Structure formats: structure tokens, C-alpha cells
Amino acid sequence: MKSSTKYFALLLFLLSLSSFLWWHKTDSRPSSMDETRHMKLALDYRAWLVDDVPLTNAWSHVYPPVFHLAMIPALSLGVPSEMKAASINLLSLIILLAGCLLLGRQQAGEPLRMLAGRKAGRPDLESVAAAFLCAGYCYVLWAGRRALIDFSLMAWVTLTLALLARTEGFSSRRQSLVWGAAAGVGLLMKPPFAFFLLGPVVWALVGRAAPGKKQNFLRAMALCAGLCVPWYFWQGAYFFDRASHLAHEITGQGTDPRTLAGWLYYIQLLPMQLGPASLVFTGLGAAFCLWARPWKENAPLVFWIGSGYLVLTLLINKDPRHTLPLLPALALLAARGWGSVIAAPWGAYLVSAAAALLFVFNHATYDRPEVENWKHGAILNLLAGQHDTSQPFLTASVLSHHPRFFARTLKWSAIQRGIEFETVSPGDADASFAEFVITRPGDQGSETAHLNTQWQSLQPGSRVFKDLFTERARHRLPDGSEAIVYRREPHPRFQVRPLNRAEVERRVALAAGRRITGPVKVSAEAAPAELAEGRLRRLRIACGPCEVDGVRVQRMDVIVEKPWINLYRLWDEDRLGLLAFESIQPVLEIKAEDAAARLSKVKGLSRIDVQFSGRRARVRARYREIPAGAVVRLTLDPSAPYPSLRATLRTITLGGVPLPGWLLGKTHRQVLPLYPIPSFPGRIQVNSVQLNDGVLKIN
């Protein structure tokens, strides 16, 4: 690599580093929705790996782990911040540069040595210009400053396609295996990685014949699958269900692939993604390249763009970030096109200088840092200062859907301030555990109707809410809206009559009757002073035989220690209104024939036989007249501090063929945590689980 090329590459890195540091030091806005999702998941992975904390983050089923694991070292340095998390994008910039250099050398026919090795001349300078141009695109600058997967994915796609070019149509076994390993890592970054490889891989396969080509491709794919398939297999139904939902999620108007607007969607985004000046420079350069350069040289880049655009367009869910991995291909076409037009020896220097100027121009005009106070600190300090210390968690229900004022963004701000804070749903009339409620009245975009429904479920106009929650603060936010903080009073005085133990027992029995069919026995223990606040020392609900949520049970006996009840819910609505509790001790007995009766309501199941014996539940049935069966083992894991009750699918039988349950991946093992969690802040006291003589006993 010539000295001038090295200087341009160094200039690219220094400009990017300066832009990154300046932006993060100047911008005062809190981290946004998706960034906080990825950073929180990275911290959860760290807690799982280092402290053996159960990984319960639902997004771990959706996002493969490589990107989040890579963020852990930076996030572990002092106080976590988005600047530290996003610093991984500086490494990705180096990967992007390496990918551009390798692609340039391969397609120019240069010897493929180490990047700092033999002089490659003009192709290297054009490649650096392409990297400069791509890194300076407006939306690439935007993504590079944030803790998002898309910048790193863009860089890794570029490097992987460069490694694909080095296989020379899979004629080299060694290079094919290197490419297979890179592809496996890419699929462990984000599933859409595959979309950008489809076209180039097909082009490589249909190219000139080479000895061992098919075998090398299969070896590479086997290595790729060996790296990534275990994760996708283990996540199984969780991943595919959520991925299918995300693929069909409507994110805006004009995204439906069945319309012309859907097919033009990403083309219309190019002025915003590239910036007007860069768009003109890139468009002209790409046109020159397609006109002046041989098709064989341009084909991999065209197939790269074509396959990615085609598959992403077929999805209803569309976002400007999704097509970031296509932009390096556009930049490479542009740099080569301008290099072909300006054939003088100094032409490559002129193209590189133009790319550098465009970088500086876009940096100065797009995604400017802003100084805004979204009141996270004031709100979190208020919550921490007024927290009811008798409760195990500081919880709040955040009814707002703004990128800067959202449940996850407040949670991340609390992590940065060292405040133990959890966000929970508002709950319902039977149970609502939020200590604080934070609202932002007004337009909430696509979530307006949902958030209004949640707010109305709290009955803000009735004494159910007004006499229990008091307004503690109002904060004007930078968008002109207002955040209102309500606090649940730790010592309310419920004005209900008659208020005595017998009346509480009668009303709890009425509330339980909504879910229990059959005679219900209720007993309560409470001191008069505590009862006025809705606090009981103990509440016992028993029945048997009876039906609970449609399941016949021989015996049910539930003891709730230190329940706190919203008596207005109990008196006005015949709902339990549970606000907090210390522990629940359930006793449950279910006969096998009663379990079979419940399963008979499942559509398609018939001739059901259930057996309970040897700590196993065995089910035989016909599903749409096909013989089917399953064996489930229940185990109690009392190990502190995270005891749990586990149901493990040991075997499944379909058409008379027995198969191991682990073929269903993670779904074959269901775990019920018995320790307190924010959404259920009390212990579940289970001492034993028995399945003997056709009866399931939990006590």
C-alpha cells in the first residue's frame, strides 16, 4: 500500500474518530429506543455470563449474540454509556476499510497479500475513496454514532463479500472456508445478513468452472451452518414467531410490497441516506462505472445491491437502517466510475479528496448534536427519593411512546445513574404492582390508542386511582409535551363501609368467583389499623373440587402472605386489586382425567389419555387423526438465589415415531421463576411437586 493511500486511510479514521467524540460530548439527549434495547441486552448477557443471572430478556430470542457480546468490554469500563457501546463502530470502520481494499485488489487483479504488503497502486486509493465516501453518507454518520447493529453489519457484509471474491468462484478450499466462517459470524450478528449474500453467491457459483468448486462451496456452507445453526435451532419457535411478526410489522405508509410505492420505498430514501451532494456524486460515479467498466467486474456489486434490495422490499417492515449494507456497494461503484473517467495519474487523488470533502460537508450539515433536557434525571431522583422501601423493587409504569421518553430510555438512564429501577405494565383490576405511573398526555404516534387504553384501565377519573395515587411532579419536555409523575401512597386510607374482616372475606370470595366455579372458602387475618390501609397479614383462598379458569381441580389452597389490596377495586368492581404481597404458597391437586378433559378443548385433539406417574406426565392423543404423544418431566430447582419450577419435554411422538423433546429447541424447557421479579414482586413458595397415582400435587 502506497504512503499516500495510508495517509488517506488514516485521515478517514481520524476524521471519523473526531466526529464521533465531538458528537457524543456535545449531544445531551438520552439514548433512544433501539439503542437502549441493544445496550440493555448486552448488560443482561454480561450478568448471565459473569454472575449466572437467568437471561430473561425477551430480545435474546430475536437478536443473535455476536454484536451484544462485542459491546460488553466497552460497557464494562466504568459507568455504561452509549458512547462506550457505540465505540465498537470505530472497529467496524476498520473492517469496512479492509473490505473495500480487498474488493478493490481482487477485482483489479492485484496480488492478494496482506493489506500493508505489496504496493497495489491505484485500486487501493479508489477503495479508500469508496470507504471515505460510504463513511460520510449522512445516514452512515448517523448510525455510526449510535449503539445499533446496522453499522457493524454493513462493515461485516463488505468484508464477507470481499472474502467471497477471494475464493475465486470457490476454486480455493482455504479461502472458501475463511468465507464460510465469516458468513457464519455474520448470521450471528443479524439474520438479514443473508439477504445481501444471496446474489453474489449465486454469481460466484454460476461463474467459470473450477475443480472442486461444488465441494468447496459445500464445505464452506457446512462451516457456516456449524457456527450459526446451533443458535437458531435453540431459539427455535421463539425466534421464528417473533421474526415473522417483525417482518409483517407496518412501520409507515408506502411499505406494502404489493404496491409500486413499496418497491420504490428504498430508492426514495436515498437522498436522505446519502445526502443530496453525496447522492449526485455517487449517482454519476456509479453510472460512469457501469458504462466504462466490464460487466464481469461490476456484476458482484450489482448482484449485492439487487439481492439485498429485492428481499428487503418483499418485507412489509421497512426502515432506512435496513439498507445500510447496500451503501458500500454504491460507494465502490462510484469511486471506480470516477476513477475511470479521470484516468490521469492524479485522478484517484482527486476522487479521494472529493470523498473527504463530502464527508466533512455531511458531518457539518447532518445529524447535528442537540442540547436537550428530557428530565430523566429529575424524574429518576424523585422516584428514588420517594420509593416505598417496604417494596422489593422501585417500579413505574411509563405510558409514553417517544424515542427520548420511553420505558427503556428511562431504564437506561437509571442504569447510568446507579438507580435500581424497573418498568412494568399498569396491570389490571386484579393485580397492579406499579409504584409510580408516568404519563405524557397527547399524541403518541402509532401507540396512541394502546397507551390510552392502558391509562383508562387505571380508572384515572375514579377513586380507584385518584384516592390511591397522587400527582408528584410535572415536567415540560423539549417537544412541548408534559410528563406527569404519580406516586402510589404507601399509607392510603380507604373510605369503604363496612370495613371489617368478614366483609373483606366476603368480597374476596366474590372476586375469586370470577375465575373459580364452585364453593370458595376465604379467610383473612388483619389488624384493624392495617385493614384501613388495605393490608392483611394473611389471605387464604381454598376450594375443591372446583374449576379454576376452566380446569377442574380436586383441591386448591392458596395462602398469600402480607397482601396489600386496593379496597376500592374490591368494593366497587368485585376485583381483587392486589398491589403487593410477600409470598404465595399454593397447594394444588389435579387428576389426570381432569387434565385430559381440559386438553379435549384444544382444536384438533381427540381420544386423549393423560397419565401422571414417576414425576412425569404422559399424554397420548390423536391430532387430526394422527397418533401423537408427549412425555413431560416436572422438576423443582430450589437452589438460591433463583429457585424455579421447570417443565421439560422429554419426548414427543408423531405418527408413532418417538423423537427427543430437545428437537424443539428452547421451547422444550419452560421455567417458572419462584423468586420475586418486577412483574410479580413476591416469592412463590413451592416445597414439592409430585406426579403419582394419576394425581399432580403441588405444595
What kind and span of H or E run contains 659? Answer: strand 657-660
- 417537544: which residue's cell? 479
Answer yes or no: are the C-beta atoms of 433 and 391 closer than 8 Å. Answer: no
Angle at which helices 347-365 and 276-292 cross, to 10°: 150
- Give per-residue pLDDT as tens, 580-611: 999 999 999 999 999 999 999 999 899 999 99
Percent of the chain past pLDDT 90, that is, above it, reads: 82
pLDDT in tens, 397-428: 999 999 999 999 999 999 999 999 999 999 99
In this prediction, residues 434-463 reach a mean pLDDT of: 92
pLDDT at res. 112: 36
3-state secondary structure of 563: coil
89 in Cβ contact with 35 (< 8 Å): no
pLDDT greater than 70 at residue 118: no
pLDDT at 63: 94
Mean pLDDT of all residues in 10-17: 93
What does the DSSP assignment read for 486-547? EEE-SS-----SS-SHHHHHHHHHHHHTTTEES-EEEEEE--HHHHTTTB-SEEEEEESSEE
pLDDT band at 181 (very low <50, low <70, confident <90, very high): very high
Closest CA to 352 of 370, 334, 373: 334
Confidence band for 122, pLDDT divided at 50, 70 and 90:
low
117: pLDDT confidence band, cut at 50, 70 and 90?
very low
Higher pLDDT, 478 or 112: 478
Q: Which amino acid appears at position 13 of this protein?
A: F
Q: pLDDT band at 6, cuts 50/70/90?
A: confident
* d(C-alpha 342, C-alpha 349), whole Å: 10
Collapsing DSSP to helix, strand or coil, 38 comes out as: helix
Euclidean distance between CA atoms 286 and 623, whole angstroms: 58
Q: What is the mean pLDDT of the chain?
A: 92
Q: Which grid coordinates belong to 216?
A: 468447496
Give the pLDDT band (50/70/90) at residue 105. Answer: confident
- The yes-or-no verdict on residue 110 having pLDDT over 60 is no
188 has pLDDT over 90: yes
- Angle of helix 88-107 relative to helix 122-135, nearest 10 degrees, comes to 140
CA 261 to chain centre: 28
| φ, ψ for residue 596, nearest 5 deg | -65, -40
pLDDT score recorded for residue 406:
94
CA neighbor of 374 nearest in space, from 291, 525, 481: 481
Query: What is the C-alpha separation between 414 and 376, in angstroms, rounded?
Result: 8
Name the band, by pLDDT with cuts 50, 70 and 90, for residue 359: very high
Q: At what angle do helices 193-206 and 295-314 cross, to 10 degrees?
A: 140
Measured CA to CA, the distance from residue 302 to residue 254 in angstroms comes to 25
Residue predicted with more confidence, 95 or 528? 95
pLDDT of 495 reads 94
DSSP state of 262: H
| Interatomic CA distance for residues 152 and 92, integer angstroms | 5
Q: Is the pLDDT of residue 44 over 90?
A: yes
Residue 178 confidence (pLDDT) above 90: yes
Q: How confident is the model at residue 115 (pLDDT cuts 50, 70, 90)?
A: very low
Mean pLDDT for the stretch of residues 448-456 = 93
Q: What does the pLDDT look like over 370-386, one tens digit per residue?
A: 999 999 999 999 999 99
pLDDT at 108: 55
**Residues sharing a CB contact under 8 Å with residue 216, sequence separation 6 or more, in sequence order:** 167, 170, 171, 172, 173, 176, 177
Confidence of residue 212 (pLDDT cuts 50, 70, 90): confident
Grid coordinates given for 304:
449485492
Do 138 and 278 touch, CB atoms closer than 8 A? Answer: yes
